[in-house]
Amino acid sequence: MNRKWLAIYMAGSLLAGSGMTYMGITVLEKRQGDQTNDQTSETTSLYKLDKAYQIILQNYVENVDKQKLEDGAIKGMLATLEDPYSVYMDQEAAKQFEQALDSSFEGIGAEISIEEDKMIIVSPIKGSPAEKAGIKPQDQIISVNGEKVEGKDLNDVIGQIRGEKGTKVELEIKRASVDKPLKVDIVRDEVPQITVYSDIKKDGGEKIGYIEITSFSKNTASEFDKALSTLEKNEISGLILDVRGNPGGLLTSVNAIVEQFLTDHKPYLQVENRNGDREPFYSDLNKQKDYPVVVLIDNGSASASEILAAALKEGADYPLIGENSFGKGTVQQPILMDDGSEIKLTVSKWLTPDGNWIHKKGIKPTIEVKQTDLYHTHPLQIVDSLKLEDNDEQVKYAQEILTSLGFTTDRQDGYYSPQTEVAVRAFQDKNTLEVTGIIDSKTAAKLEEAVRMAKQKDENDIQLQTAIRYLVH
């Protein structure tokens, strides 16, 4: 069934005939009597919808925009599914969705989802404005530019957040480890979709290949092939696949990558439709790589990332290192409507090689390793300078940052103690700032920059270090 036919079907027209199937949506053969009854029922339902539409259009106290009314009806139907991943996208939202899979787009660079009516950050994209501003997986968005998001449509909120390069957006977020909501200013920028980064990590004379996949977009599989080929030519003795903070993406991209690491002895993925029928996916290989592989995951690893992690864990017994993954076990299909809008509909579940459904549970790592406090600091929002004997949450965040950078404070409860002042002076002296012992906007910015730089150093990444040691020893 082509997309035009599917758009007609999704709009409510009855199709009967030869049992056509499209991504799990099936039109079944019917006997004449059953067909007549179904047509009558369908006609009655459509009449009811049309009648409601006409009543509102002709009698509401104010003029009604037809397009908004139609869009609202579709959104309402999808809302009854209580599925945060089944959404309606108008023409502009559909265009933005497609752009997010291209080589670059403008915005803050973060995957957002709805969980129990809450707008949740799945993960910021590596190197994006969102990541640089301190946005983290599982942050809950409360407001955008001062406007509450509760009860709003997901794509409407995404539309508010996205914008032209150089413009600013303020997000108010709630974080589990923080008592009060945080307000974070983010300057929108071009978000490049270079999704694969590779390197060679050397340890004890061993060369360990490292590939980070930040999302699964249109070009990811080809980028990955080039990176892996280069590493293998360097005769690596092991490989680390890093999908931490990877919110997912295209099923076709992750499949093309997974197939290179597994044999054909068991499926690496099973897709289950509404009737419980399962379609298994197999690799064509008859032997695995001749070097060991480990996978890094965390709570920002979602969807396609979890497909990769589960496939390598259950299909080849490769270890997973890090923290429990996000837990998204459904597959969505963008379905084009005649006017350029789209319905992104959940059409199936995906299951692991052993038939497990990880939805809302995530995947447990083989070796659990939590990052140090350096990776759990919070952004500073300095309105007035922080100084001796101040007592608030911003002081607490500053103390956490100072301690994580090795500038010891005697407390981390938000009270600006004399020892905190000493630590601030030491930090200022080391970073060629005016040594005042007061945290002004310049010192705050330097503290956050120091955290970002420290996170980029391999020696501070204990999950990565664990993976290297696992492969070397």
Say which residue, 178 or 410, is predicted with more confidence.
410
Assess contact for 399 and 373: CB atoms under 8 A.
no
| DSSP symbols for 378-405 | -----SS-B-TT-BSHHHHHHHHHHHHT
Span 196-368: which CATH code? 3.90.226.10
Q: Which range scores top for mean pLDDT: 12-16, 331-335, 419-423?
A: 419-423
Dist CA 252 CA 219 (whole Å): 11
In tens, the pLDDT along 434-470 reads 999 999 999 999 999 999 899 989 999 999 999 999 9
Q: How far is CA 339 from CA 87, 90, 101, in A?
A: 16, 9, 21
Q: What is the pLDDT of residue 102?
A: 58
Which residues, listed in sequence order, are joined to residue 110 by a DSSP beta bridge? 124
What's the predicted TM-score (pTM) here?
0.80
Dihedrals φ, ψ of 183, to 5°?
-110, 120
Q: What is the pLDDT of residue 382?
A: 85
Q: How confident is the model at residue 239 (pLDDT cuts 50, 70, 90)?
A: very high
Q: Which range scores top for mean pLDDT: 56-70, 93-107, 267-281, 332-346?
A: 267-281
**Active centre residues (catalytic):** 303, 328, 332
- Please state, for a pLDDT cut of 70, what percent of the chain lies above it: 89
In tens, the pLDDT along 90-146 reads 888 887 777 665 556 788 988 888 877 889 998 888 888 999 899 988 899 999 999
> Over the chain, what is the mean pLDDT?
87
- Please state, for a pLDDT cut of 90, what percent of the chain lies above it: 66
- In CATH, what is the architecture of 373-458? Orthogonal Bundle (1.10)
Average pLDDT over residues 375-400: 92
Among 3.20.20.70, 1.10.10.10, 2.30.42.10, 3.10.580.10, what is the CATH number of 104-192?
A: 2.30.42.10
Q: Where are the alpha helices (DSSP H) in 146-262?
A: 154-161, 220-233, 251-258
Say which residue, 230 or 176, is predicted with more confidence.
230
* pLDDT score of 258 more than 80: yes
Dist CA 334 CA 337 (whole Å): 10
Domain definitions of the chain by residue range:
3-64, 104-192, 196-368, 373-458
Q: What is the pLDDT of residue 365?
A: 98
